Amino acid sequence: MPAPVPPDRITIQNLRAITRVGVPDSERGEPQEISVSLRLLPAFPLADLGDDIARTVDYYQVCQEVLKLAAGGERRLLETLAEDLAAMLLARFDLAEVGVELKKFVLPETEYVAVELVRRRDG
């Protein structure tokens, strides 16, 4: 039996977003840059798009929506921002599944800290 074919996906790697996130008030006091990486599994195969942008997930629009949500408001937890992003992407785009990885560059002893999650569309 042949191996199953992996699902089609769109990847956005290391989108630089500005946000206010952190447990201490002082950390949220100034905007900071985070890195956002997304793995988007469309709810449809990519094979039959007919080279038509309207039939796929517009990754430019995805990036704009991510930047807007990240810049809006402030959150204490990076985990909360990741959940908010995943919920927004599943609600606004024709996706079966989304993977979100956020990297924050706040601890001087580390290259970064990260949160990663995967969420699927219900139903």
C-alpha distance from residue 30 to each of 4, 64, 101 (Å):
47, 21, 22
Write the CATH number of the domain with boundaries 10-120.
Answer: 3.30.1130.10
pLDDT for residue 55 = 80
Q: What is the pLDDT of residues 94-114, one digit of tens each?
A: 999 999 999 999 889 999 999
Instruction: Name which of 82, 99, 95 is nearest 121 in CA terms.
Output: 95
Residue position matching structure tokens 């999650």: 117
For residues 105 and 121, give the distance between their C-alpha atoms in angstroms, rounded to a whole number. Answer: 30
Q: In the chain, what are the domain boundaries?
A: 10-120
pLDDT for residue 1 = 74
By mean pLDDT, which of 26-30, 84-88, 93-97 is the weakest? 26-30
For residues 36 and 64, give the distance between their C-alpha atoms in angstroms, rounded to a whole number. Answer: 12
